[in-house]
Structures are given as structure tokens and as C-alpha cells.
Amino acid sequence: MQFRAPAKINLSFRILGRRADGFHDIDTLMAPISLHDSLTITRLKDAGKIDFVCTDSSLPGGDENLAVRAARLFLGITRSRAGVRIALEKNIPHGAGLGGGSSDAATVLLGLNQLLAAEWSEIRLAEVAAEIGSDVPFFIYQSAARCRGRGDIVTPIKLPKTVSLLLLKPLFGVPTPWAYQRWKESKKLPEIRYQAQEFSGLDLVNDLERSVFEKFIFMGHLKMWLLAQPEARAAIMSGSGSTLIAILRDGADAETLARRAKIELDSELWTCACRTM
């Protein structure tokens, strides 16, 4: 069976403080987007066997891979006599703040629930997803959502409208734990705009921009460059980066903006025109 694992963007991201368990309490608005990985999940006869293949050879293939971990957890809890083969076509860059690994894991849980006729509810799937990673429960609901706690308390919502986007990512990634660790002590750069941007009744803001931009100054400059372009209504970093999101005006040509960014800023920028779902 074939499944799509969508990327996500953070339209807002607030850090409320550090928790006793070492995580941070957050309040974030996330939305799935049309950029996606593709997974083919096949049932095997050998009980407990997990075969994993991926088009991106840089990704780990063992239990450190979230998709494999999700499959092993599901098979273990259900005590299934089946095994599975997971073939992953990777399109979402990693270290990008787009949730690719978390989405792959959630899609494996959703896929195995269907393939093996386990009939788990969304709530049960989300509970198991939370054991894998903080962002994984969000993808179970296949909807925009407000996520709180460490990201595992998910309230699905409907966005006011479908939004056209341009994603821009430099070659480097940003480690999520590092961004959180620097958050409290980091300082704002005077030339960068951090305050909330209003869009369709939403306040677009990301508290991690402060820590990430302080070290990766290029990303702050990329945001300010986007805000100065006629195609962009708003610009914000997704998650812990390193992807910047340009919210496009109606009728704007994303490819023209992407070409201009590569000419004026960095010829090796990864770009993707997409939309919210």
C-alpha cells in the first residue's frame, strides 16, 4: 500500500518555559503542506521482520530511524505475526524544521493500522506516536492543529484559507536540541524583525528565530530579504529551521521569487513552491 507523508510548517511557535523532564512547554500552530515523502508499506510473512529501504542513503536504516522505530513499536504492541517492508521515497529535507522524520513515523503507524486492520482510534495512535517523538502525534490527525505541552497535546483546527508558500533552505541544517538550549540566553539582532506578523487573523511569530539567527546570521538576512520582496506577504522560520517560509500574495509567482533568491543571495538554496493542506 502507498501512503503520502506530508511536511509541516509552523505558522506560530511560542516557548512557554522549560519543563521538569527537560523538554520545553510550547504553544504552536502547525499545518501540513503539499510537499511530501512517499512510503510503500508491504506485509511480510516473517513475524517481526522489518525491511527498510530509502532513496536517501544518508538516513539511518535501523531503530534510530523514526519510521523503523514506529513499525517496531506497532508490531510489538499488537503482537502481530506479520513483518513489514517499508520503502521510503524521501523528498522532505532533514534538519529543515519541516517534520519529515516525524511525518514518516506517523504515516507508518497510520499505514500499519490500515494494512493490519488493527482498528486503533486516532487517540490511541496519537498516544503511541508520542512515545516516538514530540511532533509525531500532530501528523496522526492529518489537519492543521494547535499543539501544546511538548507538542503532543494536539487540537485540530481549520485554517481560514489555503495559503501558497515558497520554502527556502540553505545547505546547512539546524539541530533542534541546540536551538532550544540557546533560546533563553540568546539576543536579538538589531536589524532583524522578530515581532508577530498578522496574516488572515493569525499572528505569525517564532521564538526560536532569536537563537537560530544569532548564530546563523544568513537566515536572519534571508528573512528580511523576503519581507522586502513584492511577492511575499510575510516570512517566518519553520520550527527550529533551517527553512524560511514565504507566505505569498495572491497570484504571486513562486518560481520567479525562488530564482531571484538564488541570484541575489545563494545559488545553492533549496526551494520548494507548495501550499497548505
In Å, what is the CA distance from 113 to each residue of 78, 108, 251, 253?
Answer: 10, 8, 40, 40
Question: Grid coordinates standing for 48?
Answer: 517481526
Phi, psi of 33 (to 5 degrees): -130, 170
Say if residues 145 and 208 touch (Cβ distance below 8 Å).
no
3-state DSSP percent of the chain in helix, strand and coil, to 5:
30, 30, 40
Say if residues 154 and 259 touch (Cβ distance below 8 Å).
no
Please give the distance of CA 105 from its chain centroid, rounded to a whole number.
12
Phi, psi of 62 (to 5 degrees): -95, -155
Q: Which of 37, 104, 135, 207 is catalytic?
A: 135
Q: 187 catalytic, yes or no?
A: no
Question: Grid coordinates standing for 251?
Answer: 497570484
Q: Which residues in the chain belong to E strands, given as ranges?
A: 2-18, 24-44, 50-54, 83-89, 145-148, 153-156, 164-169, 197-199, 202-206, 232-237, 244-248, 270-275
- Give the ranges where 19-90 is alpha helix by DSSP (H): 66-78
Q: 8 catalytic, yes or no?
A: yes
User: Where in the sequence numbering do the catalytic residues fall?
Assistant: 8, 135
